[in-house]
Amino acid sequence: MKTIPVATTINGDETEFLCHADESLLDVLRDRLGLTGAKEGCGTGDCGACSVMMNGRLVCSCLVLGVETEGAEIETIEGMAKGDTLHPLQRVFLEEAALQCGICTPGILVAAKALLEKNPDPTDTEVRYWLAGNLCRCTGYDKIIKAVQTAAAEMRGA
Amino acid sequence: MAFDAQPTRKFNVVGTRVTRPDGVDKVTGKAAYGADISAPGMLHGRILRSPHAHARIVSIDTSEAEKLAGVKAVVTGADLAMPEDADFADVAINCLARDKALYDGHAVAAVAATSKAIAKQAIRLIKVEYDPLPHVTDVDAAMKPDAPVVQEGRALENVPAGMSQNVTTYCKFGHGDLDAGFAKADKIIERSFKTAATHQGYIEPQACMASLGNDGRGEVWCCTQGQYMVRANCAAALGVEESQLRITASEIGGGFGGKTSTFIEPVALALSRKSGKPVKIVMTRDEVLKATGPTISSSMDIKIGMTKDGRITAARGELRYSGGAYPNFTVEMGAQAAFAAYDLEAVETIGWNAMTNRPKEIPYRAPGAPTAIYAVESVVDELCQELGLDPLDVRLMNAADKGTLSSYGPTFNDIGLVATLEAAKAHPHYTAPLSENQGRGLSCGFWFNFGGNTCVSLNINDDGTVGVVEGNPDIGGSRASISMMAAEELGVPYDKVRTVIADTSSLGFNDITDGSRVTFAVGLATIEAARAAIKEMCRRVAKIWDIDEDAVIWEDGCAKPAGPNAGTHPPMTLAEIAAIAGNTGGPIAGHHEVNADGAGVSFGVHLCDTEVDPETGAVKILRYTVFQDAGKAVHPDYVEGQMQGGAVQGIGWALNEEYIYGEDGRLQNAAFLDYRIPVASDLPPIETVILEIPNPGHPYGVRGVGETPIVPPLAAIANAVSRAANVRLTELPMSPPRVLKAITG
């Protein structure tokens, strides 16, 4: 099978890659571009560990084909911190111990950031439903929900 | 090792909520897990699995797969050694089947190819001729004398003759006169229970990269709870010496016991040996659910007698567990744990294990205990309902305490059960009002905890910082706790200490990360290693000051003269001592090797409110509070995290999660869509109350906390649902159809 050239923007950088027609965006990110922050927990869109933003929309990168990203803007966990300054969500997750093993953390951070961009002042229930597509097996979600709310308050300047 | 006789000790670092050392990497995507590394020239491995629940493997023809362009190696069970030791042999046979496929998903062959796509294509070209055999997946069916036999000749000697050959284990624990005890009871309830197998459900599938040359030297990178265990299993399965294999544990994306065995590493090594190239294998979720460890499935009978004022007079349990297609001993832990929360005059627990055509059981957080205690605590709750007694008062009246002869033999030392029950009773949750269709349940939980083989090296660096080298994968923040204990003991700030996890060639043997042992045992060894380094630093300073070694003490991170007789030397800091170590005898380090005992058993109590929808049978968790004796909580955030995470895994087990087998013996729900673990919107906040009853077996009083929290939820929720629905539920999971059926009859 021949590869297809694709031109995208990833975390603000123009990026070109070659991939097969049946290759997922997740495989492109991980295997071809060395961006291993997005994780494959299921490959079927059930766990959210591979969450990235595509043209401003939260997607499971295991359900997007690499070739579909022609001309798209992709944001991954690797683009979330600005230089050595962590995004407030990243910092608060550390401060409030909202991770244990950390495998779901990149996906949850990407998803939580997407939520707060749409809804800067969500209720706990809204956070819980928004993150219902991101499985975490370690924490029971409690500290994750609290950390998202702490970061949200900080980002609102509250 | 004894608890330090310092009851008023003031901790400076231990007990604070510092930031974990691996944190930044984990929130920025940099942390390297099992699947995250690659090597030049690397091949991709893929495993072919049996579609049959039970089948003789007549032949395997790999020739077409080998001819496919890009395929560099194909292996079958014949490419692995057959270890003499039965446990190692079971692991090897589970990695690649020999004469029989024992369950749906059992690995039968594997390929290594230049791309994932070619590897996937190649396994379809392998022709396996199967002779399907009758199968059995239910534990009660497997115990019948005429059941299909999963493996022959595997029963232990104490299993009575005449039983099915599937029955491999028999055990019995207890004391006292049961007949006399039941005769004293005002009320006796006997009930039978069943629980489905559940999976650990770690989000990171097993993954490894392995390289093995024809000189017998190999390297493995993998996500595991124990790199030394991987080394032993691989050495046995490949027929190579342990010293020639170096295993490096990656960051681990959850384990919960499920990564305490090996499934793919020996296969990757065999493929690498054959192809001459590094081989990476990453399991799919389907493979994880079909072929890696679920927990046991169970069938249990519990009989308890109680006086009308709430005293338990006698208790008996019979547990039938299935640990899948291999002999299994998890039932022994279940039988020991079943009645551990109670001070009983007469108690007996009998356990059986029966093989079924299911994947090999792998430990899941407090293995064996949650199901047994679910059954016991359900009957205790029903007795309380029948006799009109307060369920917390009844637990308090019968609670095990210091000096209690436990139901499994040992006499308890300092334990926190009574204090934990009292904390639950005093908590506002216990008296909060409930509405229609709502119910409150509670349950005690217990876990043994473990110490085990542990090595730690602690290096005093020349700039006055400290390096700790330990050998246990950090599964939930243990590097932070270990660094905290080193900093505490040395009297240096937390951020001066860096703890790393060694590969198998860099540190002596360590038991796996299991048994809630790491913060306890590695912590203990770290404190002892720090004390050894302190002793050496004091000796160096004594030389400098030209006084006796005994005249130098360590305080606040400095060597100081012990008293006026030792002279008036200004204190020397750790950094000052380290800077001139080369002039005083060379590098300074401390180390400690121990097979730690004194882990100290752990108790917890969970309170849960549920609402049952009478039209659908759906259960909503309204409120949940966890009370647990943690001993000294080294990092309270991560102690709470264990309590919350364990509780939610238990909620999944109680309400949703189950292995569903069809009549054909095949697993019907091998995906996260159908094997549904709890999501954020299913849950309320999980409140936590930590009690700190010092463990006498640890210098700071630490006890393991990780496993106990998964034990109480099953019964706490079953009791809450049974009270809300006015009908006793006796089967897990309490999925909506099952609850609805119980309500409507």
Note whether B679 contacts A133, CB cutoff 8 Å: yes
Q: Which residues of A touch B641 (CB under 8 A)?
A: 97, 100, 138-140, 143
Cβ B289 vs Cβ A41: under 8 Å: no
* Interface with chain A: mutation pick from B26, B33, B653, highest number of A CBs within 10 Å: B26
Using a CB–CB cutoff of 8 Å, tell me whether B226 touches chain A.
no
Looking at the complex, report in whole angstroms how far the Cα of residue A117 sits from the nearest Cα belonging to chain B.
19
Inform me whether the pLDDT recorded for B43 exceeds 80.
yes
Q: Is the CB of residue A145 less than 8 Å away from at least one CB of chain B?
A: yes
User: Which CATH code is given to the segment(s) B23-27+451-596?
Assistant: 3.30.365.10
Alpha carbon distance A39, B176 (integer Å): 54
Is B39 in a helix, a strand, or coil? coil
Residue A132 has pLDDT above 90, yes or no: yes
Q: Which fold has domain B43-134+200-291?
A: Aldehyde Oxidoreductase; domain 3 (3.90.1170)
Across the range B67-90, mean pLDDT stands at 97
Positions of CATH 3.90.1170.50 in chain B: 43-134+200-291
Query: What is d(CA B148, CA B136) in angstroms, rounded to the nearest whole number?
Result: 6
pLDDT recorded at residue B550: 93
In angstroms, the CA B86 to CA B75 distance is 22
Query: In what helix (H) or strand (E) does residue B185 lie, and over which residues does it extend?
Result: none
Whether A102 sits inside 8 A of B640 (CB atoms) is: no
* Residues A19 and A32 sit within 8 Å (Cβ to Cβ): yes
pLDDT band at A78 (very low <50, low <70, confident <90, very high): very high
For residue B104, which of B675, B667, B657, B668 has the smallest C-alpha distance? B667
pLDDT at B592 over 70: yes
**A41–chain B Cβ distance below 8 A for any pair:** yes
- Which of B253, B256, B637 lies nearest to residue A103, judging by beta carbons? B253
Amino acid at B230: V
Alpha helices in B208-357 (DSSP H): 227-238, 265-275, 285-291, 330-337
Mean pLDDT across chain B: 97
Q: Are strands B43-49 and B107-113 parallel, antiparallel or unpaired?
A: antiparallel
CATH top-level class of A4-78: alpha beta
Contact list in B for residue A109 (CB cut-off 8 A) is: 27
Helix (H) / strand (E) element for B467: namely: strand B466-470
| B653/A contact by beta carbon, under 8 A | no
- Residue of B84, B667, B30, B595 lying closest to B325 (CA atoms): B667
Residue of chain A whose alpha carbon sits nearest to that of B673:
A46
pLDDT value at residue B214: 85
- What is the predicted pLDDT for the residue at A158? 67
CB B64 within 8 A of CB B127: yes
> B675 in contact with A at a CB cutoff of 8 Å?
no
Per-window interface: A 46-65 vs B, CB < 8 A:
46-47, 49
Q: B residues 454-483 near A, CB within 8 Å?
A: 475-477
> What is the spatial distance between Cα A85 and Cα A99, in angstroms, rounded to a whole number?
19
Q: How many interface pairs between A and B have CB atoms less than 8 angstroms apart? A: 183
Q: What is the pLDDT of residues B96-144, one digit of tens each?
A: 999 999 999 999 999 999 999 999 999 999 999 999 999 999 999 999 9
Q: Token pair 């309500």 is at which residue?
A: B743
Residues of B in contact with A90 (CB under 8 A): 27-28
- Interatomic CA distance for residues B218 and B241, integer angstroms: 10
Choose among B256, B475, B672: nearest Cβ to A47.
B672
Residue carrying structure tokens 């290096």: B459
Provide the strand spans (E) within B509-632. 552-555, 558-561, 572-573, 588-596, 602-612, 619-629
pLDDT for the residue numbered B8: 60
Binary contact (B29, A95; C-beta < 8 A) = no
> How many whole angstroms separate alpha carbon B645 and alpha carbon B713?
11
In angstroms, the CA A145 to CA B426 distance is: 27
Could you count the other beta carbons within 10 Å of the beta carbon of residue B127?
Answer: 13
Which of these, B211, B233, B212, B237, lies nearest to B224 by C-alpha position? B233
Cα–Cα distances (Å) from B446 to B145, B399, B443, in that order, read 34, 12, 10
Locate B512 and state its tokens: 């796996």
The CATH class given to the A88-156 domain equals mainly alpha
- What residues contact residue B561 under an 8 Å CB cut-off, 6+ apart? B545, B547, B551, B552, B553, B567, B568, B569
Beta carbons of B442 and B624 less than 8 angstroms apart: no
Q: Calculate Rg over the CA atoms of chain A.
A: 16
Report chain A residues whose CB lies below 8 A from the CB of B28.
37, 77-78, 80-81, 86, 90
Residue B6 has pLDDT above 70, yes or no: no
pLDDT score at A150: 98
Percent of chain B with pLDDT strictly greater than 90: 97
> Do the Cβ atoms of A135 and B476 come within 8 Å?
no
Q: How near does any CA of chain B get to the CA of A22, in Å? A: 10
Q: What is the DSSP letter of B406?
A: -
Which of B203, B484, B621, B675 to probe by mutation at the A interface, max A CB count within 10 Å? B203
Q: Is A11 on the interface with B (CB under 8 A)?
A: no
From first CA to last CA, the distance across chain A in angstroms is 55
Do B346 and B304 meet the contact criterion of CB atoms below 8 Å apart? no
- Residue B565, pLDDT score: 85
Q: Give contacts of B 117-146 with A, CB under 8 A.
A: 117
B205 interfacial to chain A (CB closer than 8 Å): yes
Going B711 to B712 to B715 to B721, the CA torsion angle's sign is: negative
- Chain A residue with minimum CA distance to B118: A1
Proportion of chain B above pLDDT 70, given as a percent: 99
Return the closest-CA partner of residue B669 out of B258, B296, B324, B286.
B286
Is the four-CA dihedral A48, A49, A50, A52 of positive or negative sign? positive
**What amino acid is encoded at B41 in this protein?**
G
Q: Does the beta-carbon distance from B282 to A40 stay under 8 Å?
A: yes
**Number of neighbouring beta carbons within 10 Å of residue B152:** 8
**Does the distance separating the beta carbons of B38 and A49 come in below 8 Å?**
no
Label residue B507 by pLDDT band (50, 70, 90). Answer: very high
* B422-448+600-745 CATH: 3.30.365.10
CB B122 within 8 A of CB B74: yes
Q: In this model, does residue B268 exceed pLDDT 60?
A: yes
Does the CB of A132 have a partner CB in chain B at under 8 Å? yes
96-115 in chain A: CB under 8 A from chain B: 96-97, 99-106, 109
C-alpha distances in angstroms, B637 versus A142, B184, B522, B650?
11, 46, 19, 20
Peptide bond into B733 cis (omega under 30): yes
Q: Which residues are CB-neighbours of A30 under 8 A, at least 6 positions away?
A: A36, A38, A40, B35, B36
The pLDDT assigned to B93 comes to: 98
How distant is the Cα of B339 from the closest Cα of chain A, in angstroms? Answer: 27
Helix, strand, coil percentages, rounded to 5, for chain A = 40, 20, 40
Helix axes B713-725 and B636-655, enclosed angle (nearest 10)? 50
User: What residue ranges in B160-226 does DSSP mark as E strands?
Assistant: 167-175, 187-195, 207-212, 218-222
A35: nearest CA partner in chain B: B29
Name which of B686, B641, B690, B669 is nearest B735 in CA terms: B669
For B649-706, the pLDDT digits (tens) are 999 999 999 999 999 999 999 999 999 999 999 999 999 999 999 999 999 999 999 9
Phi and psi at residue B516, in whole multiples of 5°?
55, 40
Per domain, the residue ranges of chain A are 4-78, 88-156
Asked if B133 contacts B664 with a C-beta cutoff of 8 angstroms, the reply is no
Query: Rounded mean pLDDT of B640-647?
Result: 98
Q: What 3-state class would DSSP assign to B509?
A: coil
How large is the average pLDDT for residues B608-612?
Answer: 98
The pLDDT assigned to B5 comes to 58
Query: Is residue A140 within 8 Å of residue B686, measured between CB atoms?
Result: yes
pLDDT tens-digit profile of B384-409?
999 999 999 999 999 999 999 999 99
Which strands sit side by side in the sheet containing B218-222, from one edge to the other?
Answer: B71-76, B107-113, B43-49, B279-282, B207-212, B218-222, B245-249
Q: How far is A71 from chain B (nearest CA, A)?
A: 24
Domains A4-78 and A88-156 share a fold: no
Distance of CA B20 to the CA centre of its chain: 22
Task: Give the nearest partner residue to B204 out of A86, A96, A103, using CB atoms.
Answer: A103
